[in-house]
Amino acid sequence: DVKVTQSSRYLVKRTGEKVFLECVQDMDHENMFWYRQDPGLGLRLIYFSYDVKMKEKGDIPEGYSVSREKKERFSLILESASTNQTSMYLCASTSGNSWEKLFFGSGTQLSVL
């Protein structure tokens, strides 16, 4: 089975801290995605990556950056965390030809105080 692992289930950070959210997949998928999920707003795409060292902005990239140095790992970085970045963050991956078959991690609930 495909496994998408997010390093932390819960994270509490202070305003202004630099925050790293890590995601690793074990199926050699080319495409990886970061979403945030908020009640009443659904899933919103932050960034995605088609390949190593490649990144594309999603719908809400402001305040975030990403890193894809290795194919299996896609990191989301909050340069200076703010309270409005308190959210559930979901990582997903899929192979190059199967855009519909997104595999999701269990999510990281980030609280910024």
> Which residues sit at the interface with other proteins, rule CB under 8 A?
4, 33, 35, 40-43, 45, 48, 58-59, 90, 92, 99-102, 104-107
DSSP state of 79: S
Q: How far apart are CA 90 and CA 104, in angstroms?
A: 7
Tokens representing 26 are: 């074990």
Beta bridge partner(s), residue 59:
none
Distance of CA 87 to the CA centre of its chain: 12
